[in-house]
Structure 1
Amino acid sequence: MTTTPPSLNSPPAQGPTPLGQPETIKLILDRSRRSTRTVPIRRAFLQKEVGKGGTKSPGALTDLVRRSAKRPLDLYLLLSAVTSSGDFSVTEWSTTWARSVGIFDETAGTAAVSRAWKVLKELGLITRARGEGGKSTITKLHEDGSGRPYTAPGEGVGDPYFQLPFEYWDKGWYSILSLPGKAMLLIALSQRKLKFTLPQERMPKWYGISADSAGKGIRELMKHDILVHVDDEWFDTLKTRSGRGSRPVYSLWPPFTPRALGEPTADEETTTEVSSDTAPKE
């Protein structure tokens, strides 16, 4: 008689049954006490300024996508949800974080979470220290990866951020979407507009996301009716015989429709057509 070994991603059959993944995430979100039930994330996580003159380069998200670092991204978003005040830190057992990413074996879960925190620390997004009772204290740093202390976004003009709603976890999108889908959802949210374009050929330069990954993420979001093609934008170009080209215009469907965005930046106060031959105003 043969037996099938238990999966590391399933609760053990013997002993007290640990809390499941959705239930663990719910408890973590409940302790955040965010009345808006949204998570503010600076655009710098996706695209940061380098030097003077408004020059921008891909942010920390590109490193996570290139490393296929799904667990570090999942933990970072959940950490961002729960660290809402004070020194923006949280002290918790590794096994709790492991359950939040669907790992129920204590040894394997602790190791996986440790590796994920290491990735985020290398990117300058967090610090990690020993906490009481065998727990670890994770402190969130500024989203631009500079290692600066974290501050609440939106306190002044020129500090654009977007909101990730708790429905991302409530409705199970954290487990449904692939890494490209999650990346493109964050990029779409960062547009801070009801209608916007997502030119795939520009994603490598703007966000460090390959055109193929961007296309996969967009198609996935459209499949789940998160992203909807609502119009087409025409522009002048020498890349077509007619001298005119078009690209899709998208909108995010509820619950991901942009909200609570704070004051618009100078570039967002006016809407201009984006040419395929020039970089966009960010």
Structure 2
Amino acid sequence: MQTTVAPARSGKKKSPTFPLLRKPDTPTPRETRAALFGRAKRPAVPLRKIFVQKRMEEPDRTSVLAPFVTAGDLRGLRAYLMILAASANTDDNGWHTKLDSLVWARLFGTTDHATDAAARTAAWRTMERLAKKKLIHCERVPGSRKVSVVLLREDASGEDYTRPGINGNNDAYLQIPIKLWTTGTDEKLNLPGMAMMLSICAERDWRAFPAEQMPKWYGWSADTTERGLKNLTELKLIRRRERYRKTPLSPVGFTAQFEYRRSGALVLPAPRTRVKTSETDRVQ
């Protein structure tokens, strides 16, 4: 009778196999903004109106926003608004945010087509420009690659920042919806569009922006105004209506003027209201 001999077993145990884990992609600037702004858990960011335009009694109403527009500094303007949105903590050092310089770079969008070192440098230079305008104070944290940014008042006075609308602060302010950044809408705005967006958001209702008055009222040209309104209209961020005013001394007896108000992603969410439950409505 023939017997079959089983093959000898090797003394070595097979090592368990694990699936190869793929390194995740680097977060995009939009993902970085969504994660950072989501920590604050607020639907909109307050910005004092004096950043956009001085009060009516001022002979020259141009304010802090105008130099960003005339210098073509879209990156600086966007960076400032993002720092404002990111600043949710306050202590003895003021309203501040501390992040790795590469996170700041992704937040500002300087990482596109750049090395990490170049992106960090571009972000730091952007913050230095804002510091020279007395809108922020920034410093590198010793022993790390982190950068600490402290907000200053929006009027470029260099004074400490306080949050408008809270703790008895009655300064006039506008609100910018967080979804402007989290949906990527901000990436489609050009500099004229960003400037006109802030101007329209500063108004509570319909408002006309006469081209001939814009240099005196806001500090930029009629052409910049028209290009900004065109950009906002294409993105469906504003609505337009035509209003007529009686002018007896004009040839036709009236003049027409366009007025604008915010729409789309610029519309503020409705405030939450608490519904009071009466004793009879409660479930027994």
1:65 aligns with 2:77: no
1:196 aligns with 2:207: yes
Give the letter aligned to residue 75 of structure 2. R
* 1:175-217 C-alpha deviation (Å, 9 max, x unpaired): 1111111111111000122x22122221111111211011000
1:40 aligns with 2:50: no
1:22 matched residue in structure 2: 30
Match of 1:106 among 103, 106, 116: 116
* Structure 1 pair 235–256 and aligned structure 2 pair: CA distance change class (3 A): farther
* Structure 1 pair 111–54 and aligned structure 2 pair: CA distance change class (3 A): same
Give the letter aligned to residue 164 of structure 1. I
Conserved 8 A contact 2:236-2:263 = yes
* Structure 1 pair 223–25 and aligned structure 2 pair: CA distance change class (3 A): same
Conserved 8 A contact 1:237-1:245 = no
Shift of 1:100: 1.9
TM-score (norm. length: structure 2): 0.77
Q: Which has the larger radius of gyration?
A: 2
Conserved 8 A contact 1:229-1:251 = yes
1:250 aligns with 2:230: no
* 1:222-250 C-alpha deviation (Å, 9 max, x unpaired): 11211111232425496x53463221122
* Structure 1 pair 251–48 and aligned structure 2 pair: CA distance change class (3 A): closer
Give the letter aligned to residue 209 of structure 2. L
2:19 matched residue in structure 1: none
Match of 1:127 among 112, 137, 151: 137
Conserved 8 A contact 1:21-1:99 = yes
Give the letter aligned to residue 53 of structure 2. Q
* Structure 1 pair 158–49 and aligned structure 2 pair: CA distance change class (3 A): farther
Q: Which moved more, 1:195-204 or 1:63-72?
A: 195-204
* Partner Cα separation in structure 2 for residue 89 and residue 235 of structure 1: 52
What is the RMSD computed on CA atoms of the aligned residues? 2.4
Match of 1:234 among 232, 242, 245: 245
Question: Secondary structure at 1:88's aligned position in 2?
Answer: strand
* Partner Cα separation in structure 2 for residue 88 and residue 49 of structure 1: 25
* Structure 1 pair 258–233 and aligned structure 2 pair: CA distance change class (3 A): farther
Q: List gaps (5 residues or longer) in structure 2.
A: 1-22, 272-284
* Structure 1 pair 23–49 and aligned structure 2 pair: CA distance change class (3 A): same
Give the letter aligned to residue 41 of structure 1. L
* Partner Cα separation in structure 2 for residue 130 and residue 237 of structure 1: 64
Shift of 1:260: 8.0
TM-score (norm. length: structure 1): 0.77
Matches within 5 A, 1:89-238: 89-104=96-111, 105-132=115-142, 133-154=144-165, 159-193=171-205, 195-234=206-245, 236=247
Give the letter aligned to residue 71 of structure 1. R
Question: Secondary structure at 1:39's aligned position in 2?
Answer: strand
* Partner Cα separation in structure 2 for residue 237 and residue 114 of structure 1: 58
Shift of 1:57: 2.4
Give the letter aligned to residue 175 of structure 2. Q
Conserved 8 A contact 1:235-1:246 = no
Shift of 1:157: 7.9
* Structure 1 pair 200–99 and aligned structure 2 pair: CA distance change class (3 A): same
* Partner Cα separation in structure 2 for residue 83 and residue 40 of structure 1: 11
Give the letter aligned to residue 67 of structure 1. A
Question: Secondary structure at 2:26's aligned position in 1?
Answer: coil
Shift of 1:90: 0.6
Shift of 1:112: 1.2
Instruction: Extract structure 1 runs of 4+ deviating beyond 6 A.
Output: none
* 1:82-118 C-alpha deviation (Å, 9 max, x unpaired): 1134121111122112112333221221221122112
* Structure 1 pair 157–29 and aligned structure 2 pair: CA distance change class (3 A): closer
* 1:149-180 C-alpha deviation (Å, 9 max, x unpaired): 10111356862101100111122111111111
Conserved 8 A contact 1:83-1:90 = yes
